[in-house]
Amino acid sequence: MKGKYIALAILGVMAFCLTLYGSSSTSAAGKTLNEIEAELGAQYGENKRITDGSYDKSLAVKCINGTFVGKKNDGVIAYKGIPFVGKQPVGELRWKAPVDVVPDDGVYEAYHNGKTPCQLDYEAQVASVYVRGEDCLYLNIWKADDGRKNKPVMVWIHGGAFTAGGTVEPREEGTNFVKENPDVIVISIEYRLGVFGFLHLSHLPDGKDYPDAQNLGLMDQMMALKWIHENIASFGGDPDNVTIWGESAGADSVTTLPLIEGSHKYFQRVIAQSGTPVLSRTTKQAIEDTNEFMDILGCETVADLQKIDVEKLLAALDALGDMRVGPERDGKYLPLDPYEAYANGEAKDIDILQGCNKDEMNFFMAESGVGEPFVKAYTKRWAKNSVLLTDKEKALVESFCKDVKGERYEQLCRLYNQIWFIAPLFRISENQTKAGGKSYTYYFTVESSVPLMKSGHGVELSLIFNHPEETLVAGRAFDETFSKTMRRMWVQFAKTGNPSLSADISPDGKAHQWPLYDLKNKEVMVFDEFNIHPEKESQRKILDWERTYFLTKYFCL
């Protein structure tokens, strides 16, 4: 019985592909990347330069690098596939820092998504089945056609473990959100993934010309934020009221970006769903991963790598293994210890709203295979990484697992919930508060109807973006009033820096006072489907302070 549940995710992927490619296709399996790109290119089209003046001037917005013409649907104007760099990172610019835009008087369509970043397992990527390429640095903008100016701006950064995902994900399309909340502008951005965005190269014989390769994905995000700061007023947005917002690796990103020098002029707030800087690596780890990657490919220099085609690079990354890619804590672009950077006040002037789901790891359990496959994979992972722990620390973890009732996979789910999500979440809240900053913390408990998924990783995304039809992970639509209330809290935070709602603006007609996290009461906002309420962490014992909190010092075990 348990084995069938992972098949549900696979069937969901196939169903999505059948819908995407049309009923005449049996599945996406077996097709080459070029064949898929050709089909999707024909379906989605390509943004072109407009030279004959035949466009709707009311949908055109002049920016530094061109005038972009959007499309209006049901009162919302979408501008898709706007480049935020002057040159795309291809050819000699592979593994180089993003190039800033230059002035351009041309007029361009902004009708279609730009390319999705190169990523592995393209047959199974529900979130990002689309035309892919290294020339992927584009953004999308959604705004209500109401003529209002100085609107708060919410910039979405997608997740995917820094190796997958894209702005084309239907579940994260912004029209529905903006239609319901016309008082904000929503933007989604792409960034380089995997070995194209996070590969340490400077230690190689010819690596001195690639000093930024280990953190290019974050540099791409910063360049997108720079473009937004310089151009969003033309769309009716307030460049001085920007919230960066993400889930999973996107949440890792938005909690890391405040620690980059000069970043604070581009945003004032952070919304982080199920992610912290936990996925980051040390320089030593990054170099070891690169060396193993080079061995797989039989390469010795960057020049050798430049000769390898994209699919072989992705295959080598796949062979390298999961969770081996992410930002590098190099002590230059990023601090050596992000948690301590928060404690030292490096983000104290940034308002933060962050939280996690009750059963994050249940999603990964379904992805890896319920029961034996999951247990095998994560037992191996723990055996490899737990050598870093002292004997006393290992004993504490063993004690924690023994107290989890159920089978071994349940113990591993609960343990990795603590390691990857819960403990890092509370450490950021603790340190941000100690430094005098603001942190609003939440705990999402609503469960999917997919068997064993519970309140797993990403369950809330279709709710947050107002796409109840997207049920691959959630399995169902959630209560409409609850969903609207949660979205309104996100918007209220973006507008004011405080997510609390008075009764007159709350969709459920009830006042919701969201307390700041404090070191004594440690209150979080609990999102039960029919009972949104603040609660002390100690009432639910969300975090095991004695037996797992210390694990944050090891980051992504």
Catalytic residue positions, numbered = 248
Residues making up the chain, counted from first to last = 557
CA angle at 224 for the pair 195 and 185, rounded to the nearest 5°: 130
- Residues 130 and 115: beta-carbon distance below 8 Å: yes
- Round to whole Å and give the CA distance between 308 and 544: 46
CA distances from 363 to 6, 359, 367, 451, 456 (A): 10, 8, 6, 11, 5
**Which residues are bridge partners to 109 per DSSP?**
69
| Closest among 119, 113, 128 to 171, alpha carbons compared | 128
Task: Fill in the DSSP letter of residue 397.
Answer: H
For the sheet containing 107-109, what is the strand order?
60-63, 66-69, 107-109
163 sits in the region (left: phi over 0; alpha: psi -120 to 50; else beta) called alpha
3-state helix, strand, coil in the chain (%, to 5): 40, 15, 40
Residue type, position 368, single letter: S
DSSP letter string, 275-322: --GGG-EEHHHHHHHHHHHHHHHT--SHHHHHTS-HHHHHHHHHHH-T
3-state SS string for 109-140: ECECCCCECCCCCHHHCHHHCCCECCCCCEEE
| Closest among 264, 239, 244 to 254, alpha carbons compared | 244
Q: What's the token pair of residue 305?
A: 């790598």
DSSP letter string, 140-193: EEEEESS---SEEEEEEE--STTTS--TT-GGG-SHHHHHH-TTSEEEEE----
| Residue 464, C-beta contacts closer than 8 angstroms, at least 6 positions apart | 177, 273, 486, 487, 490
Residue type, position 69, single letter: V
- As a whole number of angstroms, the longest Cα–Cα distance in the chain is 73
- Round to whole Å and give the CA distance between 362 and 423: 17
CA angle at 163 for the pair 121 and 432, rounded to the nearest 5°: 150
| Closest among 141, 173, 211 to 461, alpha carbons compared | 173
Residue with tokens 């949660």: 486
Residues 162, 167, 172, 174: is their CA dihedral positive or negative?
positive
